[in-house]
Amino acid sequence: MSQLSHLAYDLLTILGPTATGKTQLAVQLAHKLNGEIISADSRQVYRGMDIGTGKDLGEYKLNGKSIPYHLIDIVDPVEEYNVAQFQKDFQKVSMDIRKLKKLPILCGGTGFYVKAVLLDFQLSKTEPNKQLRQKLENWKLEDLINELETISPGASANTPVDTKRRVIRAIEVAKNRRQKIGDRDNEIQNPKSKIQNPIVLGVNYPREVIRKRITARLHERLNNGMIEEVELLLKNGVTHERLDSFGLEYRFISHYLQGQLSRDEMAEKLNTAIHQFAKKQMTFFRNMEKNGIKIHWIPEGDFETALGIISKG
């Protein structure tokens, strides 16, 4: 054990855009600080979705020691899972970790999940509107985002808009509440958050480096079973419509398997979409900072830099 009094913090959070090595840094810090990792990834909760979500479970080992991880592989792809369920699961897991006198480390790129934990949202209990969903399900993603912005200006910067399912849900909530969804932080935030003293680290690289990392990682995954993974999901009863709701990799590979795109077209369009998604992630994290969440940015996820920031706390 180091001399760092890491238990002064009740949560260490590591966030950042895709392909920046967040898990690697989290594992290093968990090894050093006697921590356990809680995934903040809205897709890694699903079983059988390994390559497309970048689980890389082999990364959770360092110097022969396995680092415990949580909220990965906990539901089947045919089941629904949302941020409210994540909050509930996070609270239970983090409390269990603290009872062991260990440090919970929240790690992932789903900004809304991280934000919901740090600000302890009291999430809307808006019931699903089947008529509205049927009306919107055939709309294009960009048209849905425009509709959300019309109802609630600024909302797309404060809620995930990477899948049609999420944007339709945001429209549903915005219509129900008849007020700006972008203002909800001030209205449903619980001032007595269960997380009292978190520290947040952000992993970042120069944009061009991130672009190269994204492209290299995508081609590696396509050549090492990601298409076959989607075929297996289909074989196990996951529909193409459900795949579309899981975001970029699953959506574009689904289109390829349905003959809507050639393999080269799929790879090119998917690569472009992931680059755009990484930019949106950074926009979301910058908005978190505007909401008062202090993020200590760690160039290239450097371990010693991260450790130095934590030790100053």
Give the chain's domains with CATH numbers. Answer: 130-183 (no CATH), 209-277 (1.10.287.890)
Burial of 104 (0-12, 13-18, 19+ CB in 10 A): buried
Under the banding of pLDDT at 50, 70 and 90, the label for residue 180 is very low
**pLDDT value of residue 272:** 98
CA distance linking residue 153 with residue 180, whole number of Å: 7
Residue 243: which residues within 8 A CB-CB, separation 6 or more? 230, 233, 234, 250, 251, 253, 254
* Position 188 pLDDT exceeds 50: no
* 215: nearest Cα among 262, 281, 142, 278: 278
Residues in the chain: 313
**77-129 pLDDT, tens digit each:** 999 899 999 999 999 999 999 999 999 999 999 999 999 999 987 766 667 78
In three-state secondary structure terms, 246 is coil
Query: Do 9 and 103 meet the contact criterion of CB atoms below 8 Å apart?
Result: yes
User: Tell me, what DSSP letter sits at residue 136?
Assistant: H
Report pTM. 0.82
Q: Exposed e or buried b for every residue in 10-22, given b needs 16+ CB within 10 A?
A: bbbbbbbbbbbbb
